[in-house]
Amino acid sequence: MPEEEKQSGTTEIVETITTSVISYDVSEASLKEMESRLVVKKMPTDLSVKKNYDIVKEAVKETRVLRGKVEDRRKNLKSDALEYGRKVDAKAKSIKDRLLAIEEPIKKLKTDHDTKVEIAKREKARIEEERVSLISTKISNIRALVGGNVSSTSAQIKEALDLLAAGGTTEEWADEFADTATEATTEAKEKLTELFDLKLAAEEVDKKAKEDEAKRKADEKKAQAVRDEEAKKLKVKLEKEREQIAKDKIEIAKAQKEIAAAKAKLKAEAAPAPEPEPIQEPGLNPVESPEPKHSQGVPVAMNKPAVVTEKQKTAVVVKQILNIINSIEGTKMAKVEAIVAAIKADKINYISWEN
């Protein structure tokens, strides 16, 4: 190796290669002839015919055989070149490995920097995407306030309006979307205000209806209490009347027994029997009773006979009862009640001579 090469640290591989003629068994003329003759459009298409199939088969075989010869010749011509190529590749690899040992650390420094730049770029894009997304979401939420409060109360709608007012101007948060945000906010305020007025009016009507209903129920409760008290008093009254009726029935039954006994006794005494001589009071005719005297149109009571028999007593009682019955217009019960009342008042006795 020359001294200059040792000093420069470079190595050169210098070899003399004898170049021989590269020749194959296929000439240029034969190739052109085959390219002209063996083309698909000149081949028969109906291969179901044996003759046609054989033509195609022979054409394939012809080219395949020539390809085989060319490959064999190639390997023969390249055998020396392959050994040389391996030496060249080995030397090149040794040099490249040393170069890579120098390059890799420097390349890593560059790659790390590029990675940081790319990460920062992606982070910036992410932040920007998030910013735009937040603005878009806020604008969408503003537009959704009206639809979301259709069923809300006036107080809830008022809260939504206050929320819009507290959000500040759209220029403070919407940036380049300020025009869109302002339009959405203005429209939402107008529609929410209209909805608030409608809800407030409806709630006033509903409140009045509830107050009227509460008053109606209170009045009904009060009226029911009055009715209950009246019903209670009526119940007590009816109970007393039932007790009185029960007592009256007892009295009526007793009177009916007395009347029946009196009738039975009267019937028994109706048979003829000698009567005792009445004792004549002074001044009276023993046969005829004096006519009742009148004083200024008022009838005076008859003088009672000195002696009254049991038969006369019974006749007087029966007559009094019959007079009461004939003087009462109404039901049998009404007549019986009148008789009972007369008995209680002690108006039925043999001493009474009223007609």
What residue spans define the domains of the chain?
Answer: 28-134, 135-226
Give yes or no for residue 294 having a pLDDT over 80. no
- Could you tell me if 82 and 94 are in contact, meaning their C-beta atoms sit under 8 angstroms apart? no
pLDDT in tens, 132-146: 999 899 889 888 988
Q: How far apart are CA 34 and CA 24, in angstroms?
A: 16
Task: Return the bridge partners of 299, or none.
Answer: 294
User: What phi-psi label fits residue 324: left (phi over 0), alpha (psi between -120 and 50 degrees) or beta?
Assistant: alpha
User: 325: closest CA among 346, 348, 345?
Assistant: 348
User: 135: closest CA among 98, 89, 181, 202?
Assistant: 181
Task: Give the residue with greater pLDDT, 297 vs 330.
Answer: 330
Give me the pLDDT at residue 2, please.
Answer: 47
Give me the pLDDT at residue 342, please.
Answer: 78
> What is the pLDDT confidence band of residue 336, given thresholds at 50, 70 and 90?
confident
Give me the pLDDT at residue 216, please.
Answer: 92
Give yes or no for residue 244 having a pLDDT over 80. yes
- Could you tell me if 149 and 157 are in contact, meaning their C-beta atoms sit under 8 angstroms apart? yes
- Could you tell me if 135 and 175 are in contact, meaning their C-beta atoms sit under 8 angstroms apart? yes
Give me the pLDDT at residue 349, please.
Answer: 66
Give me the pLDDT at residue 289, please.
Answer: 43
Give yes or no for residue 340 having a pLDDT over 50. yes
Least confident of 47-51, 152-156, 213-217, 256-260: 256-260
> What is the pLDDT confidence band of residue 285, given thresholds at 50, 70 and 90?
very low
Give yes or no for residue 303 having a pLDDT over 60. no
> What is the pLDDT confidence band of residue 205, given thresholds at 50, 70 and 90?
very high
CB within 8 Å of 200: residues ≥ 6 apart: 154
Query: What's the distance, Cα to Cα, between the start and end of the chain in Å?
Result: 189
Task: Give the residue with greater pLDDT, 139 vs 274.
Answer: 139
In the chain, the percentage of residues whose pLDDT exceeds 90 is 18
pLDDT in tens, 15-35: 444 555 677 778 888 888 888
Give me the pLDDT at residue 271, please.
Answer: 55
Distance between alpha carbon 274 and the CA centroid of its chain, in Å?
Answer: 106
What Å distances lie between residue 223 and 29, 212, 214, 227, 230, CA to CA? Answer: 130, 16, 14, 6, 10
Task: Return the bridge partners of 295, or none.
Answer: 298
Burial of 1 (0-12, 13-18, 19+ CB in 10 A): exposed
Give me the pLDDT at residue 129, please.
Answer: 94
Task: Give the residue with greater pLDDT, 262 vs 55.
Answer: 55
Mean pLDDT value across the chain: 79
In the chain, the percentage of residues whose pLDDT exceeds 70 is 79
Burial of 160 (0-12, 13-18, 19+ CB in 10 A): buried
Give me the pLDDT at residue 277, please.
Answer: 54
Q: For 222-242, b where at least 16 C-beta lie within 10 A, e where not — what string?
A: eeeeeeeeeeeeeeeeeeeee
pLDDT in tens, 88-122: 888 899 888 888 888 898 888 889 899 999 999 99
Give me the pLDDT at residue 124, please.
Answer: 94
Give yes or no for residue 279 having a pLDDT over 60. no
Contacts of the segment 276-284: beta carbons below 8 A, 24+ positions apart = 276/307, 276/309, 278/305, 278/306, 278/307, 279/306, 279/307, 280/306, 281/305, 281/306
Count of Cβ atoms closer than 10 Å to residue 314 Cβ: 19
Q: How far apart are CA 314 and CA 269, in angstroms?
A: 9
Dihedral, CA atoms, 104, 106, 107, 111, nearest 10 degrees?
Answer: 130
CB within 8 Å of 275: residues ≥ 6 apart: 309
> What is the pLDDT confidence band of residue 274, given thresholds at 50, 70 and 90?
low
Model's pTM, two decimal places? 0.36
Task: Return the bridge partners of 298, or none.
Answer: 295
Q: What is the mean pLDDT of residues 162-173?
A: 77
Task: Return the bridge partners of 294, or none.
Answer: 299
Count of Cβ atoms closer than 10 Å to residue 180 Cβ: 14
Q: What is the mean pLDDT of residues 299-315?
A: 58
Q: How far apart are CA 70 and CA 77, in angstroms?
A: 11
